[in-house]
């Protein structure tokens, strides 16, 4: 909400205004102005998080409770690391909650990252053939949660961007099917736009509950939403094959 001056000298807009510098695009100026006035950006700096996205996973977990002490978590495309930061105390990755099981967090990204206490970071393409085996080896078993806040580079075309992020989310879901424990959770960012119907159908075949949520920390003018799929039942193709073998 825009704060107002009510001192009696008339109302004055206290939002930070950014002038367009020579050589800077208007879109960049507007982005910078939005960042400077975003309460979640300011709160992230104060709380020590690497980005405002931390509050999205925090709000999702507050509602659905998938980050539990002792949980084994895979954070795909984890840079800059806000989601992993939130997960550390919630799964007790540092063992600071006495009497609670200690969790594990594996962060995977194409780029190198600054270390995060309690998180094991790996520079890896999660779509590589050996990625699922590597991650399960690092975890020492299967994961309880696979989460992804990944987004493809924006092209400026809303439909193209929508299709790109849906493809990325579908790839993340396929990865999750390979590494999730039965009963596990998959959380990922998608963009509303119509092409997500097939993804939704696939998730509903593989999980007992699938919810689509726009947490309060998600900007109101953004088309992003998050899918929270809980109760992994095993890859449905494998279940179908097993049922046929028993006939």
Binding residues for S-adenosyl-L-methionine: 81, 83, 109, 125, 149
CA–CA separation, 76 and 110 (whole Å): 10
Residues comprising the binding site?
Answer: 81, 83, 109, 125, 149
Q: How far is C-alpha 98 from the chain's CA centre?
A: 28
- DSSP of 152-201: PPP-S-HHHHHHHHHHHHHHHHHHHHHHEEEEEEEEEEEE-SSTTHHHHH
Specify the 3-state DSSP secondary structure of 247: coil
Which residue in 136, 189, 204, 225 is the catalytic one? Answer: 189
Q: Closest by alpha carbon to 235, among 134, 142, 153?
A: 142
Structure tokens at 79: 């840079």
Question: Is the Cβ–Cβ distance between 57 and 149 less than 8 Å?
Answer: yes
d(CA 194, CA 197): 7
**What is the maximum alpha-carbon separation in the chain?**
82
Residue with tokens 């179908």: 240
DSSP 89-101: HHTTTT--STTS-
Burial classification of residue 236, based on how many CB atoms lie within 10 Å of its CB (0-12 exposed, 13-18 middle, 19 or more buried): middle
Residue 189 designated active-site: yes
What is the Cβ-side half-sphere exposure of residue 103, based on CA atoms within 13 angstroms?
A: 27
Catalytic residue set:
189
């Amino acid at each position: 909400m825009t704060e107002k001056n009510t001192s009696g000298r008339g109302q004055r807009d206290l939002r930070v205004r950014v002038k367009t510098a020579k050589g800077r695009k208007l879109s960049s100026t507007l982005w910078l102005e939005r960042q400077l006035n975003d309460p979640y950006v300011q709160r992230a700096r104060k709380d020590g998080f690497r980005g405002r996205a931390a509050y999205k996973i925090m709000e999702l977990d507050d509602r659905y409770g998938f980050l539990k002490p002792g949980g084994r978590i895979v954070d795909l495309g984890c840079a800059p690391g806000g989601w992993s930061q939130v997960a550390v105390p919630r799964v007790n990755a540092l063992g600071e909650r006495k009497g609670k099981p200690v969790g594990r967090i594996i962060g995977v990204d194409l780029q190198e990252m600054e270390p995060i206490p309690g998180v094991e970071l790996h520079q890896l393409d999660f779509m590589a053939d050996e990625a699922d085996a590597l991650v399960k080896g690092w975890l020492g078993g299967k994961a309880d949660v696979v989460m992804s806040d990944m987004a493809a580079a924006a092209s400026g075309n809303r439909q193209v961007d929508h299709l790109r992020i849906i493809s990325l989310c579908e790839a993340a879901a396929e990865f999750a099917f390979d590494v999730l424990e039965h009963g596990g959770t998959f959380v990922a960012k998608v963009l509303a736009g119509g092409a997500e119907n097939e993804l939704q159908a696939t998730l509903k075949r593989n999980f007992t509950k699938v919810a689509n949520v726009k947490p309060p920390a998600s900007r109101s003018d953004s088309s992003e939403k998050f899918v929270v799929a809980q109760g992994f039942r095993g890859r449905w193709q494998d279940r179908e094959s097993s049922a046929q073998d028993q006939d």
